[in-house]
Amino acid sequence: MRKLVYFVHTSIDGHIEGPDGEFDWPAMGPELSGHSQELVDRADTFVYGRRVWEMMSSFWPRAESLSDDPHDLRFAPIWRKTPKIVFSRTLEEADWNTEVVGGDLAELVAGLKGGPGKDLLLMGGAALATALADRGLIDEFHVVVHPVVLGGGKQVFSGGVRTDLRLTGTRTFDGRAVLLTYEVK
């Protein structure tokens, strides 16, 4: 059975974006970029909520013209060719090999997990991740804590119900960021 893996960057004060919505603070050094690639290799489908999809689709299709970062240059062609699913109640269609779905999360995710293929990789976001975690649908959490205090902004999980997790690993990347890996108890 496929797993749903949640990969998220957070500040040490638990925010995934700054007070003004900024996401310019995660540093993707070579080691963290390598872990990101390991997760991408495990998956054959990327999963997003609408807001993260809009951010990703505004950057990755033209990343080579916007960045010279080695991580960005390596990931951009992978992002373009990998199938993507966007969970949304408002978005009607999306390009770049993307399917938009709406409806019952538990039913949709059960169908995806029960289907053929590799893991599903949920990247970033808060609303969809909280909704999925509340329903016990996320199998692994890969939380990368960056050495920055944002002082406000969107929290990783806000307004969700209690979910007990089991720590399955820790790792330091590039002498800066710390990965915390969890599974549901």
CA dist 143 and 82 (Å) reads 22
The pLDDT of residue 80: 97
- CA-to-CA distance for 182 and 185, rounded, in angstroms? 9
Residue 173 in any domain: the answer is yes
Percent of the chain topping pLDDT 90: 95
pLDDT at 161 over 90: no
Residue 28 belongs to some domain of the structure? no
pTM for this prediction: 0.95
Q: What is the pLDDT of residue 160?
A: 79
Does some domain include residue 148?
Answer: no
Q: Is residue 17 part of a domain?
A: yes
128 vs 132: CA distance, rounded Å = 6
* DSSP per residue, 29-50: -HHHHHHHHHHHHHEEEEEEEH
Domain of residue 79, residue span = 4-21+34-140+153-184
Give domain status of residue 14, yes or no.
Answer: yes
Output the domain CATH number for residue 131. Answer: 3.40.430.10
Mean pLDDT of the chain: 96
Cα–Cα distance measured from residue 181 to residue 184, given in angstroms and rounded to the nearest whole number: 10
Q: How many domains does the chain have?
A: 1
Q: Answer yes or no: are the C-beta atoms of 73 and 60 closer than 8 Å.
A: no
**14 token code pair:** 């638990």
**Domain assignment present for 145:** no
Tokens of 3: 């797993």
Residue 29 maps to a domain = no
Q: Report which DSSP code applies to 19.
A: T
In a domain, residue 97? The reply is yes
pLDDT in tens, 47-93: 999 999 999 999 999 999 999 999 999 999 999 999 999 999 999 99
Rg (CA), the chain: 16
pLDDT digits (tens, 9 = 90+) for 127-146: 999 999 999 999 999 999 99
